[in-house]
């Protein structure tokens, strides 16, 4: 699996570094769990007005359409065959959302079953 990083010079953010580390650990480890060995994970940082926009993309299995509305709920685990074999509590994405929102940011995702998922979140720039 290939990990690609696109991190240009970006504005500083005022954030709890340990909490942001949790966000990255959760998003990148999820991407790694559900991406085949020949796939890739891409982390991209973009400097936009008032925020940094960070995306974590993968070429994994994607999220089934009927699971999309529940993906940030506590204890929810997607109902695909691979997910049933991978251990987890279903708390990771719920925690990620709580951390991002506690920093006055937003999180969203795009997914295509069989083609991967991209999670994108924003963190306000330091003023």
pLDDT digits (tens, 9 = 90+) for 84-115: 455 555 678 999 999 999 999 999 999 999 99
Q: What is the pLDDT of residue 90?
A: 60
> pLDDT by residue (tens digit) across 79-89?
554 444 555 55
Band of residue 77 on the pLDDT scale cut at 50, 70, 90: low
* Angle 20-24-30 from CA coordinates, rounded to 5°: 145
C-alpha 112/C-alpha 123 separation (Å) is 25
The residues, any chain, with a CB within 8 Å of residue 127's CB and separated by 6 or more, are: 14
> pLDDT by residue (tens digit) across 11-55?
899 899 999 999 999 999 999 988 999 999 999 999 999 999 999
Which CATH class for the 2-124 domain?
Answer: alpha beta
Q: Strands across the sheet with 107-112, in order?
A: 2-6, 40-48, 51-58, 116-124, 107-112
């Amino acid at each position: 699996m290939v990990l690609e990083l696109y991190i240009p010079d970006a504005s500083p953010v005022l954030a709890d570094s340990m909490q942001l580390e949790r966000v990255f650990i959760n998003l990148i480890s999820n991407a790694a769990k559900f991406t085949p060995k020949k796939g890739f994970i891409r982390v991209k940082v973009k400097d936009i007005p008032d925020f940094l926009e960070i995306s974590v993309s993968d070429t994994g299995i994607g999220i089934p359409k009927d699971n999309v509305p529940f993906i940030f709920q506590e204890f929810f685990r997607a109902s695909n065959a691979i997910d049933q074999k991978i251990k987890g509590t279903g708390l990771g994405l719920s925690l990620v959302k709580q951390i991002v929102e506690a920093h006055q940011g937003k999180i969203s995702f795009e997914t295509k079953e069989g083609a991967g998922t991209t999670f994108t979140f924003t963190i306000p720039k330091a003023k």
